[in-house]
Amino acid sequence: MDQPVWTELQAKYIRDGRPSVVGIVLHDTAGSGTHSDTLYLANPGDGRKVSVDFTVERNGSVWKLNPDLMKLHCLHAGRATRFKGLVNGAVTRATIGIEICQSADLSLSPVYTDAQVSSTALLCAWLVKRFKLTTSDITTHRQIITDGSRSDPRRFPFEGGAGFWQYYWTSMGKGEQHAVSAIMAKTPDPDLQQRTHNVASRDTLASIAKKYYGRASLWPVIQKANGLKSSIIVSGQVLIIPAKS
């Protein structure tokens, strides 16, 4: 796998020390959704001490704000967070942050561009290989926040044909797999409470449950929500995928 193309722009607020990288945290900037968001994270004009390892802009361009991922860390998830037994500052020290440029009011159309989704996925795939991580080490700010104050990346398309996981698995030569990270499945995006799934020829209720919930054994949830009397589904059928309670 080739290293993604990126542009270096060193962030002002970078700290020494990186124990080992244990995960990747996805965010959205909730700014303007433009290059200004990258410039802000490189050098916040309002005095907030924040930074991030990478940004991904709407044209798919990747900006690397941490000049040395092995030795330095950024300040992207240090408050009210918990991940793998680490809290607050320890989380930000041990994770690579990726800010996906997005407007505060989600008014851009499309909300995320295809170039942005695929660039984010390819960057994650490369980082997973580079730091010997696994898919379940990819998480979101929403998942690791402990006080409910963050829900980013908001409305990011993880699922579906042009979704994050499809690009991620395809880059690893496993396009059919696109399974959801088990950690991520625990906290569904509140903006995507009711999803639908177009049944493909190889799908089973169990494989669909695995995809959306991370557990095949949850297939009765989908069966019940759709009023199915058996587990038989047919290609082209549209199923409601309820939020896991």
211 part of the interface to Zn ion, by CB under 5 A: no
18 part of the interface to Zn ion, by CB under 5 A: no
Q: Residue 39's CB: how many other CB atoms inside 10 A?
A: 15
CB of 32 to Zn ion, least distance (A): 16
Please state, in angstroms and rounded to a whole number, the distance separating the CA atoms of residues 194 and 8: 39
14-16 and 72-74 as β-strands: parallel, antiparallel, unpaired? antiparallel
Single residue of 53, 57, 152, 159 touching Zn ion by CB under 5 A: 152
Measured in whole angstroms, how far is the alpha carbon of residue 159 from the centre of its chain? Answer: 11
Output 21 or 50, the one with its CB closest to Zn ion.
50
Output 155 or 215, the one with its CB closest to Zn ion.
155
Outline where 131-218 has alpha helix (H): 141-144, 164-171, 182-185, 205-213
CB of 148 to Zn ion, least distance (A): 13
Output 44 or 242, the one with its CB closest to Zn ion.
44
Nearest CA to 112 among 187, 27, 180, 173?
Answer: 27
Q: How many residues bind Zn ion (CB under 5 A)?
A: 3
CB of 92 to Zn ion, least distance (A): 11
Output 154 or 197, the one with its CB closest to Zn ion.
154
Output 41 or 121, the one with its CB closest to Zn ion.
41
159 part of the interface to Zn ion, by CB under 5 A: no
Please state, in angstroms and rounded to a whole number, the distance separating the CA atoms of residues 2 and 20: 22
Output 137 or 152, the one with its CB closest to Zn ion.
152
What is the residue whose two structure tokens read 């940004």? Answer: 55
CB of 27 to Zn ion, least distance (A): 3
111-150 footprint of Zn ion as x/- string (CB under 5 A): ------------------------------x---------
Contact between residue 12 and residue 51 where contact means Cβ atoms under 8 Å apart: yes
27 part of the interface to Zn ion, by CB under 5 A: yes
Find all residues with CB under 8 Å of 115, minimum gap 6, and list them. 58, 59, 60
Please state, in angstroms and rounded to a whole number, the distance separating the CA atoms of residues 112 and 59: 10
| From 151-159, 162-170, 179-187, 227-235, span contacting Zn ion (CB under 5 A) | 151-159
Per CB under 5 A, residues contacting Zn ion are 27, 141, 152
